[in-house]
Amino acid sequence: MDLGTIWFILWGVLWAVYFILDGFDLGIGSIMPFFAKSNEEKRIMYNAMGPFWDGNEVWLITAGGVTFAAFPKTYAVMFSALYTPLMLLLFALILRGVSFEFRSKVDSPGWRKLWDTCNFLGSFLPALLLGVAFANIFKGIPIDQDGILHGNLLTLLNPYGLAGGLLFVALFAHHGALWLAFKSEGDIHDRAVALAGKLWPVVAGLVVLFLVMSLFMTQLFANYLVNPLLFIILLGAVAGLVLTMTYRKAGRILASWGASAVLIGSAALFGVVGIFPALLPSSLNPAYSLTIQNSSSSPMTLAIMLGVALVFVPIVIAYQIWTMRTFSHPVTKADLDYEEAY
């Protein structure tokens, strides 16, 4: 296997890991206005995602950094063609990060409402924009031989792109409800489990809709028909979808969240494998697509990057596991009295 292919696989895995990890805290922020009944419940929700959200976004930076270093031409065209949605994504994430730090600085209902709104927008918009962006990448973006986008933001809001956006919002909201159930107790735990149960049919319906639209509106299944063994990725998504419901009904909430993670990871890898070897397919002409062959860095650069990744990625994974184990207990009312609590 050549270095370009290895980095394509790592590129896809990094995005899948980011969606799994940041998906649950984006989901909690997205459901907060419709779920929390009091300031205390909102604080429990903030503290359920508080120790994790910034660590989770390390994977977004890593995925973006890999795109820049391993596939610089793809990075340049992607940030030019998707400039508006990516800037909206960036501003939304900034608002969200600030909301965590500023919300408790002033004891005022109006002040808290302002930052609650920022946290909601900073959670909902990234979920929607990431779904729209990746659905368009899976479908193909209208770029010409010079990497110039023939269209605008509205071009990206096509039916397939919007279906991808709604799918990401639903997946993350379901994922977040399960994490909230794991990190809470009592009434809020029971309501979070019930909400996950209500969201599951929505997720299942959107998964089926997205697969059907992918079959008729994209070339994603071409690689799967050439190599049927790849269908194991789709089987992983189906297994995750079924098991997350089964475990939830059995009261095994952490296992249900794990199955939801398998569903999200498999859904992301389904698209990435489908566009291989392109990273940015062109819907105007396949010859204009940016692929491993025409957009990767030199073999020496890729080799050095691989050495760095083999050293540091296990450290990041170890830190992530330590964080999740350390803060795996439910958030209680007593936890809210700590000065460090959100």
Beta bridge partners, 154, equal: none
**For the residues of 90-124, what is the DSSP string, one character each?**
HHHHHHHHHHHHHTTTS--HHHHHHHHHHHHHHHH
Measured CA to CA, the distance from residue 136 to residue 141 in angstroms comes to 6
Beta bridge partners, 280, equal: 290
pLDDT at site 333: 81
* Residue 317 half-sphere exposure toward CB, CA atoms < 13 A: 8
Among candidates 131, 7, 124, 133, which has minimal Cα distance to 71? 7
pLDDT at site 166: 97
Measured CA to CA, the distance from residue 55 to residue 51 in angstroms comes to 8
pLDDT at site 342: 78
* pLDDT, tens digit only, all 342 positions of the chain: 889 999 999 999 999 999 999 999 999 999 999 999 999 999 999 999 988 888 888 899 989 889 999 999 999 998 888 888 889 999 999 999 999 989 888 889 999 999 999 999 999 999 999 999 999 999 999 999 988 889 888 888 999 999 999 999 999 999 999 999 999 999 999 999 999 999 999 999 999 999 999 999 999 999 999 999 999 999 999 999 999 999 999 999 999 999 999 999 999 999 999 999 999 999 999 999 999 999 899 999 999 999 998 998 889 889 888 988 888 888 888 788 777 777
Token pair, residue 80, equals: 């030019």
* Cβ partners under 8 Å of residue 111, min gap 6: 103, 105
pLDDT at site 114: 95
Cβ neighbours around 87 below 10 Å, total? 12
pLDDT at site 152: 83
* Cβ partners under 8 Å of residue 78, min gap 6: 67, 86, 280
pLDDT at site 338: 75
Measured CA to CA, the distance from residue 179 to residue 28 in angstroms comes to 8
